[in-house]
Amino acid sequence: MSIQRAEHAFLPNGWVQGHDQAVSAGSDAQVRWRLAGLPNLHSHAFQRAMAGLAERQNHPDDSFWTWRELMYRFAGRITPDTLQAVATQLYVEMLEAGFTSVCEFHYLHHQPDGRPYDDPAQMSRALIAAARDAGIRLTLLPVLYMSGGFDGRALSERQRRFGHTLDAYLSLLQRLRAEQDDTLAVGVALHSLRAVPAAAMRELLAAVGPDAIPIHIHIAEQIGEVQDCLALRGARPVEWLLANADVDERWTLVHATHLDAGEVQGITRSGATVAICPTTEANLGDGLFPLRDYLKAGGHWGIGSDSHVSVSPVEELRWLEYGQRLSTRHRNIAVSAQQPSTGELLYSQALHGGLRACGQGERAANDVIVLDAQAPALVGATPRDLLDRMVFAGNRCLVHEAHVAGKQLVSQGRHHQRDAVAQRYARALGELLAS
């Protein structure tokens, strides 16, 4: 005997009712939930290997800046092989969690003493290979990093692995851009206003010209950098950027955490996307992004898992909303007159902002995940409540399948290479922890 199975799909244009399919009775769920996969707008893959290892006090006044010292020490030990093993593990975890593409903000370019590898793109290639092995769609963002602070000071010893002259950076970019394909896009990134002097920023942007290429930057994560920017450049970071660069829809401002009302309006008018990384921003004690004002202004945004203390779009979206609930003492903040479902508004806007920022156009919009329709959390679900249930009810991952560029990578919640990749990761982590 066969029954009809209804498919409901949540795609960039909202819910669509798919064709009913005949399936044998009793063998399967009676609905199929297919969702466009979410882009992960911000990743430092190597930091996955130190997740959970910076949660012990190491300074009486621990902060973002003391965490950064630990992170630098860890970064100093990463080799091309360990980077590839860690990134492959991370990308497998992303696919199993429902991220189908990732923007990799990559600044770990050189050998620990700052000398380029024989192939200056070797670390970039390790990331590209990791994404290919996992099957995730990659937007690789080689990062320009030139100075150690707003005052233009030289890079510290631990930052030498990150640094480029502008010419060396542009030649790396050109090489990598030549390797783009159906699932690999290459954009540009400025580490931060701290790390790129104003003149170099202008030269880089002139070299990029009007090309449709993603441009990402860390912008205003810590109050300390807002104060330094005010003191040395006479304006707040976002304010300064908007006044000194033609910020448009190609741009993604990562951690636009500290914004005043004018900056909220300015970003919205520019068409840029903001990348919010709620679990990392909480972990590092950054502050709360002004989501309510930003949504009211109509700004574009997406999410990133950044330092990977969590690898889950559900957790990023949930904490984005919960931060607002805790600070405003209200409920259901991310809603609008047309969209009263918090889960659906969050998912839909993170999807649209994500697709804008990853620069892979229509291709990425066809990557999908399929949920476990038989999970207890989805009993009796309807399109009206599906995304609210997924974002707010429970911790069990509901992702059953992930498909990128027409290829199925995850079945029954497991990536096809899960075990082999985990074994390589365990060996790499063993080496890193011993070194």
Sign for the pseudo-dihedral over CA of 147, 150, 152, 154: negative
Binding site for ligand NGQ (CB under 6 A): 44, 68, 192, 218, 221, 280, 284, 306-307
Any idea of the CA torsion for 207, 210, 212, 213, to the nearest 10 degrees?
30
Are residues 204 and 190 in contact, defined by beta-carbon separation less than 8 angstroms? yes
Give me the least distance between CB of 85 and ligand NGQ, in Å please: 19
291 contact partners, CB below 8 Å, separation of at least 6: 276, 320, 321, 323, 324, 333, 334
Instruction: List 31's β-bridge partners, or say none.
Output: 6
Please identify, using beta-carbon distances, which residue of 312 and 341 lies nearer to ligand NGQ.
312
Question: In terms of Cα–Cα distance, which of 419, 246, 422, 254 is closest to 353?
Answer: 254
Radius of gyration of the chain (CA): 21
Active site residue 293: no
Give me the least distance between CB of 237 and ligand NGQ, in Å please: 12
Tally helices (H) and strands (E) across the chain.
15, 17
Please identify, using beta-carbon distances, which residue of 304 and 343 lies nearer to ligand NGQ.
304
Give me the least distance between CB of 8 and ligand NGQ, in Å please: 36
* DSSP per-residue codes, 146-210: --SSTT-PPPPGGGGGG---HHHHHHHHHHHHTT-BTTEEE-EEEEETTTS-HHHHHHHHHHHTT
Structure tokens at 336: 């609008």
Active site residue 306: yes
Choose the catalytic residue: 164, 255, 403, 415: 255
Scanning the structure block, which residue is given the tokens 């399929």?
370
54 contact partners, CB below 8 Å, separation of at least 6: 67, 70, 71
Choose the catalytic residue: 286, 306, 367, 388: 306
Please identify, using beta-carbon distances, which residue of 106 and 352 lies nearer to ligand NGQ.
106
Give me the least distance between CB of 174 and ligand NGQ, in Å please: 23
Please identify, using beta-carbon distances, which residue of 35 and 219 lies nearer to ligand NGQ.
219
Please identify, using beta-carbon distances, which residue of 33 and 105 lies nearer to ligand NGQ.
105
Please identify, using beta-carbon distances, which residue of 137 and 308 lies nearer to ligand NGQ.
308
Question: Looking at beta carbons, which residue is closest to ligand NGQ?
Answer: 44
Are residues 254 and 358 in contact, defined by beta-carbon separation less than 8 angstroms? no
Give me the least distance between CB of 302 and ligand NGQ, in Å please: 16
Give me the least distance between CB of 63 and ligand NGQ, in Å please: 12
Question: In terms of Cα–Cα distance, which of 38, 39, 35 is closest to 16?
Answer: 35
Active-site positions?
A: 255, 306
